[in-house]
Structure 1
Amino acid sequence: MSRSASSGGGGPEPRFAVVGNPDNRRVAFFEEAVRSAGLPAARVVPWLQVLRGEAAFAPGECVRIDSPGEDAEVDRLLRGVDDPTRVEGSARWYARFTAAVEAVAGAASAAGAEVLGSPADIAVLFDKRLCHGLLDRAGVPVPASPTSGPAGAPVRGWSDVRELLREHRMPRAFVKLAHGSSASGVLAVESAGPGRVRASTSVERDPSGRLFNSLRVRRYTSEREVGAVVDALAPDGLHIERWLPKASQRGRAADLRIVVVGGRATHAVVRTSTSPMTNLHLGGARGDLDEV
């Protein structure tokens, strides 16, 4: 962040308010960036205040809306689930989160503040189906998906997934929660014909049918097991993408995470894994960008 870029060419210095969780790493990084730019300290508006209807903004503030993650109470209020390791509740999370974003935008506008991200854009970013469709229409290469965009095929359970994979000739596909993150609720599904199905996932299903996030990637090797997990996930909304082969680095599957700003790649990270998911908390590791 630079003073000249943020101050509009010699105008008054921007005063930032960041909606986030005070202990969240992203909030801390943003506060440090503001300080490094020599700008007035950012004011943190906690998500708890937003969700309780207590948030207020000042005239002229630039309001940044940051992640509501890494706070158990905020997660409970958004998802309606007491156990933070539970997978269920992402559709409720999305509905409450987008409503809260709309409330922030309304309160900021009424106070004469400026919100840096539009509620409509944020709603797309947190829905894999809508985001996939937007990228596809913009000409960005994305894996084929029968659930892409507002007109994507509905997924009510495993029977729908099985039929869509057959219809679109996808023997290997990722089945993802539409509003999930950090590989929560993601299954890498492989099919070799009727009844021959297996899936790799971090989802653990207990005897009562409840789903939990695990730090261990496990493999379900029967259609009955895979179907039971998908059926439990489906009420929160599912997105399906063709499973494309990954590159490899030193014998491990590898992918790139790239940040693009203004059409220019500014940051790139290589992640590697022995499983289809390269997330670091699931056993993934940083790779060597120079070897790509």
Structure 2
Amino acid sequence: MRFAVVGTPGDRRADLFAAACRSAGLAAPQVIAWRDVLRGTAPEIAPGSLVRADSPGEDAEVDAMLRGPGDPARVGGGARWYASFTAGLERVAAAASRSGARLLGDVDEVAVMFDKRRCHALLSAAGVPVPEALPPVSSYAELRERMAETRMHRVFVKPAHGSSASGVVALQTAPGRIRATTSAARAGAGYVNSLRVRTYETGPEVEHLIGALAPDGLHVERWLPKVALDGRVLDLRVVVIAGEPTHAVVRTSRSPMTNLHLGGARGDLGAVRQAMGEDGWRRALDVCAQAAACFPGSPMVGVDLLVRLGWRGCAVGEVNAFGDLLPGLTGLPGSGADGLDTHTAQVRAALRRNQATCTT
């Protein structure tokens, strides 16, 4: 058995997956570059391979092919990125089918995960606890109207097709006051992603920011206050492999954004479990499994889990198709991935599933 990976050669993800294959006694995976897929010049996938489609990564050339030319750090262009990326996935699926390979992951499910509006609607319809969402908005004025109508004074405004908190705005309003927290930094007429979270506190600034994000589509949901430990708010990234929550990391921050690349830090999982209690922890993992069950054709999803104030219940903030880049993190005891990193656990789960399929 051999794997093929559609990704970025030399990218950390590709290296980690190759190491996982070696640890399972397998040959190095065939690596097919996203740039070649998007150009239509990708080599033939090795017959019989299990094909993993990975994140396009931080490749300026690939970004330009997906979003069009421009600064790779710019905020925006998500709608074009989404259309180009999903078309590329369809091309990979067709190539796998032609060669007798099998794509790990359902293309349509990945497309839903990369559309926050569709993903939220799917989770909500399945009874998964999620923050309340506003009706669709297409402008700053419409956003303020909907917030007033629903009496939501604290919301998260998210680009419909964004990732890594790009363009996400934590917005709070009060009579005569407004405050928008985001990693989007003003650059000329637009915005670029910054590693520093900043605030905008005037109406014109916030209107300009939302106006720059709106053309690509927005998803707006109630801001659920996060619990905190040692003065830092937190949430959880839980990796679910083959339906089982296998890995969990606590993400902590002094800002509303807990993303590790924005100054967040890994927290103490043991302290969180103690605060939740074992029943609460088990319920939290059950919520993650429930969210993953909405994507039965996806062998791995990363669930961003929000813990309500008072440690009373949880809600799912995001479901990520590429949420497994957590180097050095080993599996939860009793999960079946004990001692294994996220990539090794996926390789072994895929091999078990493939063996079961071949014997039935």
TM-score, reference length from structure 1:
0.89
1:80 aligns with 2:60: no
Q: Which residue of 2 aligns with 1:7?
A: none
Q: Confirm or deny that 1:168 pairs with 2:150.
A: yes
SS in 1 for 2:89: helix
Offset of residue 131 of structure 1: 1.2
Uncovered stretches (5+) of structure 1, i.e. residues with no partner: 1-13, 147-152
Q: Which runs of 4+ in 1 moved over 3 A?
A: none
Q: 2:27 aligns with which of 40, 43, 53?
A: 40
Q: How many residues are matched?
A: 271
Q: Which amino acid aligns with 2:199?
A: R
- Structure 2 counterpart of 1:216, one-letter code: R
Select 1:127's aligned residue among 115, 138, 155. Answer: 115
Report whether the alignment pairs 1:116 with 2:97: no
Is 1:237 paired with 2:217? Answer: yes
The Cα of 1:218 is off from its aligned counterpart by 1.1
Partner of 1:184: 166
CA contact (8 A) 1:174 1:243 kept: yes
Measured in 1, the distance between the counterparts of 2:195 and 2:95 equals 39
Does residue 284 (structure 1) correspond to residue 264 (structure 2)? The answer is: yes
Residues 1-292 of structure 1 correspond to what in structure 2 (within 5 A)? 14-55=1-42, 56-146=44-134, 153-193=135-175, 195-206=176-187, 208-292=188-272
Question: Which runs of no fewer than 5 residues in structure 2 stay unpaired?
Answer: 273-360
What is the distance in 2 between the residues matched to 1:181 and 1:59? 33
CA-to-aligned-CA distance 1:166-187 (integer Å, 9 cap, x gap): 2222110000111111111010
CA–CA distance in 2 between the matches of 1:69 and 1:235? 24
AA aligned opposite 1:219: T
- Secondary structure in 2 aligned to 1:145? coil
8 Å Cα contact 1:176-1:238 kept in structure 2: yes
Helix, strand or coil for the counterpart of 1:218? Answer: strand
Secondary structure, aligned partner of 2:52: strand
CA contact (8 A) 1:81 1:89 kept: no
**More helix per residue:** 2
Q: CA deviation at 1:263?
A: 4.1
Work out which structure has the larger RCO, using CA pairs closer than 8 Å and 6 or more positions apart in sequence: 2
Larger mean Cα displacement after TM superposition, 134-143 or 255-264: 255-264
- Residue 281 of structure 1 and its aligned partner are, at CA, apart by 2.1
Q: Distance in 2 between matches of 1:263 and 1:16?
A: 21
Structure 1 residues 64 and 263, CA, compared in 2 at 3 Å: closer, same or farther? Answer: closer
Amino acid at match of 1:32: A
CA distance in 2, matches of 1:234, 1:96: 19
Cα deviation digits, residues 83-135 of structure 1 (max 9, x gap): 11111211111110001111111122122221111210110111111111111
Letter aligned with residue 207 of structure 2: G
